[in-house]
Amino acid sequence: MAAHFANMDAWISPITMETAPSLEEFVETERGLALALGITRNTQSTNYFGLCAASLPLTSPDTSLPIGFQLMGAGGSDIVILAMEAERAFAQGGAHGPLSSPEPASASLAPERSPGRVGLP
């Protein structure tokens, strides 16, 4: 898998292909297991291949339940993935507001890399 990340810091992909089910949908055991396996199929490869990832929630206009995407990086690239997520959150006025420094967070955290090189799997 490391070869896939040779020219990029992260892949972007949807976390799930559907919005999150309600808790009531997990009451029946077989249905709950099928839902759990189905909604985690896009994130399972991160665990299987020893990658790191950050899940980024988004608001869906048609439902109050969250949807989102994930940034997946090579194993051990946690700081790059977290820095990319921090930049996105702060740029959008996250919990602590926009970055006060003109330097991107990932540049100061991972100067040996060129942050933001993102691909689609």
Strands (E) located in the chain: 10-14, 52-59, 66-73, 118-119
Q: Yes or no: say if 95 and 89 are a contact pair by the CB < 8 Å rule.
A: yes
pTM of the entire structure? Answer: 0.59
Q: Yes or no: say if 56 and 31 are a contact pair by the CB < 8 Å rule.
A: no
pLDDT digits (tens, 9 = 90+) for 36-83: 888 888 888 888 899 999 887 776 566 665 667 889 999 999 888 888
Q: Yes or no: say if 67 and 57 are a contact pair by the CB < 8 Å rule.
A: yes
Please state, in angstroms and rounded to a whole number, the distance separating the CA atoms of residues 19 and 31: 16
Could you tell me whether strands 52-59 and 66-73 are parallel, antiparallel, or unpaired per DSSP bridges?
A: antiparallel
